[in-house]
Structure 1
């Protein structure tokens, strides 16, 4: 791992009490890691037979394996078109953040320039504080917006840049500015700068025809089908990402790669907003004081779907878990810890 990146991430947190961590399985034999995962995932599936659970493990800069647990495969290594599609929700936010930082590199956007100067008509001018909001603030959830994309979320909770308030609405505002500046859709930009370079052929912010045959339909916390599946005709940075565990693991592996775009990666793992002694936010990823070293993470939560991704930059190990059942979320934490090790302070925060 690049020393500047390690220094940035290690400096995020003061030492503090964390949940007991399991050793990271950086050098354990592949079969041993799969056996540990199978034990956890098969038990989950046995209790929830309608559930689909897809898990990808990243080690040493590579997507080492992808395992599927559902009615068609209760523990099978899969790849490519064999993988089902899941609604990944907020796992799209780090993807979007990376895209924005590419636009900053190309001088299409500025991290610091107030976005009001690019597109004043997109902002509620009844509150003059919106004129101070920058892309940096929106990516790190420090602009003051609250909640998701509802129109009622325009009101600011605090002065921009002074605190933390997780906001899908803020990401939506930044998406509108990006599309205005480039004249291109989120989907087009993401395909050019993220999906194609990082080998994510099954990933999209918009509904694809092939998804009709590959999607795993969601279940609520009572185990009931959620009903008609949403099929977004236009992309939303805040919630509409659809992907496979393997595709998203390729993105995670790229984020852990110390040799590729180290300056950009440093911005994605350096704390812009500190929240608690164990949790902070970068430009896209959540950061946590995990053991044996800090890690990047994000979760996804849409009706019928729960997901989580975590990566340890120092040890170059990570995992992506996608599921189509809301009640599985509490079971994903022990699955991750028993498969790759470490611990997840973020699970006890959000």
Structure 2
């Protein structure tokens, strides 16, 4: 048998289905000739099964629609929450950048000497040990053309001196360090002078330190130097006319130094102190606060423009008070006037009917009197 013959053999035909249907009807007519069993048993069972299937199908469709709606609502809620969270984070970042100033500004001060010549000589050739041929070392630091320090924020201004432990510096003793602060119009805003010196070390202590750190000194990992931190201003507050130029002067002609650095540090108090010292906790609190505000605004907008939601209508009906009816519009006034006019017309008609009835009675009574007189 070929493949086509096998497929035709196993494929049902209309004759086969008709034969099966006819055989089933003959069998049922033989068993139940009066169709009592079919009407009282099979038909109710079939109807019950069909109803149950239809009910199950409806419930399944409703559950499917409910699930789809729930999924769509969940996606919408997650999307809105994500956007609100991003907005809260951006708002906190904007607040942090606008409210918190830069913590530390560091600027190197390049010290300069000015030669001083005696008499009519045009050149000055001075040695390292001679101090009468040049001025004090000075430096001009230009902060910015606008404003570097935030208005109202306290700052600490410190000069860092890197001094070698040379015999000259050790013999120098005390010397003065001065700072002048000027605005863009070259007007002096504030000045300060502080005295300083190298820290003293006894010869035995110096020898012991040199002996212990000899390998580090030998390979260049350590140097015989001291770094002095001189606090020039401890609580400087800039104004709307900001400081733009700073002049630093070391009032010693024989001092030897490696570098001079100006450090401007913000001294935080209050909310800025909490944000700077506890950044993670402050960020969490700030983002949660912004998220709460944005959520409330979103809910208010949703409440204002979405009138078709059932829970909004229920909440509005629950918390709204019924106001007495007032006639504010022209239509209400027209309706009220038409109603009053109609009432007046009805009352007039009623009165006229009563009057007509009275007139009829009077007329009848007058006719009766005439008849009696006659």
TM-score, with length taken from structure 2: 0.16
Instruction: Write 1 or 2 for the structure with the bigger share of helix.
Output: 2
Between the two structures, name the one with larger relative contact order (CA 8 Å, sep ≥ 6): 1
TM-score, with length taken from structure 1: 0.17
Larger radius of gyration: 2
